[in-house]
Structure 1
Amino acid sequence: MKKRFLAFLTIVFVSILLVACGQSDSDSGKKSSSSDKLQVKTTVFPVESFIKQIGGKHVDVESIYPKGTDLHSYEPSQKDILDASKSDLFVYTGDNLDPVAKKVAGAIKEDDKKLSLESHLNKSELLKEEHEHEHEGEDHDHEHGEKAHDHEADHDEHEHHHHGIYDPHVWLDPKMNETMVKAIRDELSKKDPSHKAEYKKNADELLKELDGIDKDMKKATEGHQGDTLYVSHESLGYLAKHYGFKQQGVQNMNAEDPSQKELTDIVKAIKDSNTKYILYEENVSNKVTDTIRQETDAQPLKFNNMESVSKSQSQDATYQSLMKENIKNIEKALNK
């Protein structure tokens, strides 16, 4: 509660400061920097990667999210909001997909300085959270027990955000990314029409590579329709839907730990199915996943959920390069 109140005060302060500073650079064709390049701020790594590839030498892009952070417990700082507000463009997945970015976008008064990719997506293809872990039932069953007290204390210490209405992990799906790439291409062209042809050329090349990722995913999942992949938190929803497999997250979409009953059921299912691998994400808590590994013979396989990337990855990685690593491990896990 304290974190939310502080975040609210930050947004109010920044909004007042922005109004006081005026709106001198709000015109569509006017850049916020003396540099000839468009200054763009964004959020999750795939969107940053797409902007960088489409914009090329004409765009400077940076994510407001710290490298390697767990976005489920991240709050935007005053500097994050100010930096995004001073840029030529803030690109994010959408208000109903990323509540953290929604706070930043809400402080930017000029509509032509922010791009919500959600508005370009087919909302009928967006997924809602399948289920929530049984915290209420667990608290009721152990209302007077020490375990319930520890469980509650743990949640107070590690406060998590709930995502918006929809599963936010749209950026992992190459087909949905095609729509986002086109929206980014068009917005950069509107902001910087003198380089429209180059943005189109770069976007066309990127779209071809995304089509290749789609083909690779189809090949990796062929013959495994209905098979279950275990992952440290539910980030595979769109991939599972489009390529026909099932996901079982140790943590749910909001990175909340399972109840004791759910944990017992997951361990039993892994043992009964003789599952060899669990997809393991580096930027979420893996304490419960480690417990499952100790209780079963399942081994970890790295999976890049791309909410954020490490400093070393940020140097030369792209969505395509990280997704190719993911596909190899998805295929290995399915061919257990």
Structure 2
Amino acid sequence: MKKIVMMIAALLIVLAGCGNKNEDNGKLKVYTTVFPFKSMTEQIGGEHVDVESIYPNGIDIHTFEPTQKDTLNVAKGDLFIYSSDELDPVAAKIAKTVKNEKTLPVAKAIKENQLLEHDHDHEEGHDHEHEHEHEHAESAHDPHVWLDPVMDKAFAEQIKDRLVKEDPDHKADYEKNYAKLAKDIVGIDQQLKDITKNPKRDTVYISHDSLGYLANRYGFKQEGVSGMNNDEPSQREIVSLINQINELNAPYILYEQNIPSKITDIIKEKTETESLPFHNMAVLTDNDMKDKNVSYQSIMKKNIESLDKALNE
């Protein structure tokens, strides 16, 4: 068994050492994790890149485990973009099979005091009868950094710089495309500042704790039905959340595109709240794919509309 593992590791190293650019079309082959990294890379790279996420549509990334084929594909590519080894232990496993010069952990430079700690409240409150059902690496910090537009602008710049390094012949295109994207991200930041300047209420209720960085950046609170890694709440926590929503007369609860909604449905029914969509952008759904122009910006525009309603209506 040990020999087989060593042979696979050797094969991955060989594949990772292949020359740059897709031999069929001359484009850089880039793999990413979450959708914002994919979308930003596509926009900056334009016609010079071929970008693919390692995640299938609609999955819950908190329970995703890559296959050997996933790892081989990334190893054969030219670049692998993810947050960081600390924030994304699953991506870190894949990155270990790829030469360092082929990886780009865009959040690696984020300072410790800028990262939000993992919220263990749900884990401490729920029954632990299922805690050993599967072993899945979890970050000690909130991994949802890609929802913060200020951080995204810095991530986009790193992606641009890396594409320029890999493909200097098209530097002008990458610089131009990045400038347009950066302008859009600044606009998103301003819209979020506008809707959170004098909100009617200060708390947003959502299907799981994905809003931490947005809440921290723009001064509101989040209350997730399930925890940061989609761990289920206890009965006591569900009752407490229902009472809180009823006491505050909160009119809305946000539903995410890839998070199971059974418990959220119960809370919605008991509180007579209305549902609003919120796209955490970890992955796209099959329905998202029907829009050929779906992008980081288009999804954030809809998210801002939902947050505005949740905070101000």
Q: Choose the corresponding residue for 1:325, options 274, 299, 302.
A: 302
Corresponding residue number in structure 2 for 1:286: 261
Once residues 256 and 218 of structure 2 are traced to their aligned partners in structure 1, the CA distance between those partners, rounded to angstroms, is 20
User: Judging changes above 3 Å, is the alpha-carbon distance between structure 1 residues 179 and 123 closer, same or farther for their aligned structure 2 residues?
Assistant: farther
Residues 1-336 of structure 1 mapped to structure 2, 5 A cutoff:
16-20=7-11, 23=14, 26=17, 30-31=20-21, 33-108=23-98, 110-135=99-124, 139=127, 152-153=129-130, 159=134, 161=136, 163-224=138-199, 227-314=202-289, 315-336=292-313
- Is the helix fraction higher in 1 or 2? 1
Paired amino acid for 1:271:
N
CA displacement, residues 133-152 of structure 1 (integer Å, 9 cap, x when unaligned): 154x654xxxxxxxxxxx72
**Distance apart, 1:313 and its partner CA:** 1.8
Once residues 165 and 264 of structure 2 are traced to their aligned partners in structure 1, the CA distance between those partners, rounded to angstroms, is 46
* TM-score under structure 2 length normalisation: 0.92
**Distance apart, 1:96 and its partner CA:** 1.1
CA displacement, residues 191-221 of structure 1 (integer Å, 9 cap, x when unaligned): 0010111101100110000000001111111
Once residues 59 and 71 of structure 1 are traced to their aligned partners in structure 2, the CA distance between those partners, rounded to angstroms, is 25
Once residues 322 and 168 of structure 1 are traced to their aligned partners in structure 2, the CA distance between those partners, rounded to angstroms, is 19
Q: How many residues align?
A: 311
Once residues 204 and 61 of structure 1 are traced to their aligned partners in structure 2, the CA distance between those partners, rounded to angstroms, is 20
User: Judging changes above 3 Å, is the alpha-carbon distance between structure 1 residues 22 and 230 closer, same or farther for their aligned structure 2 residues?
Assistant: closer
Once residues 195 and 119 of structure 1 are traced to their aligned partners in structure 2, the CA distance between those partners, rounded to angstroms, is 26
More displaced stretch, 306-315 vs 93-102: 306-315
Once residues 167 and 101 of structure 2 are traced to their aligned partners in structure 1, the CA distance between those partners, rounded to angstroms, is 13
Structure 2: 5+ residue stretches without partners:
none
**Distance apart, 1:130 and its partner CA:** 3.3
Paired amino acid for 1:321:
S
Paired amino acid for 2:37:
V
Paired amino acid for 1:58:
H
CA displacement, residues 160-190 of structure 1 (integer Å, 9 cap, x when unaligned): 7453122111111110001100100011111
Paired amino acid for 1:133:
H
Once residues 182 and 91 of structure 1 are traced to their aligned partners in structure 2, the CA distance between those partners, rounded to angstroms, is 13
**Distance apart, 1:222 and its partner CA:** 1.7
**Distance apart, 1:132 and its partner CA:** 2.8
Once residues 25 and 330 of structure 1 are traced to their aligned partners in structure 2, the CA distance between those partners, rounded to angstroms, is 42
User: Judging changes above 3 Å, is the alpha-carbon distance between structure 1 residues 105 and 131 closer, same or farther for their aligned structure 2 residues?
Assistant: same
Once residues 280 and 179 of structure 1 are traced to their aligned partners in structure 2, the CA distance between those partners, rounded to angstroms, is 28
CA RMSD of aligned residues (A): 2.3
8 Å Cα contact 2:15-2:75 kept in structure 1: no
**Distance apart, 1:16 and its partner CA:** 3.1
Paired amino acid for 2:174:
Y
* TM-score under structure 1 length normalisation: 0.86
Once residues 186 and 38 of structure 2 are traced to their aligned partners in structure 1, the CA distance between those partners, rounded to angstroms, is 19
Once residues 320 and 13 of structure 1 are traced to their aligned partners in structure 2, the CA distance between those partners, rounded to angstroms, is 45
Structure 1: 5+ residue stretches without partners:
1-8, 140-150
Once residues 220 and 235 of structure 2 are traced to their aligned partners in structure 1, the CA distance between those partners, rounded to angstroms, is 26
Paired amino acid for 2:117:
K
Once residues 126 and 66 of structure 2 are traced to their aligned partners in structure 1, the CA distance between those partners, rounded to angstroms, is 32
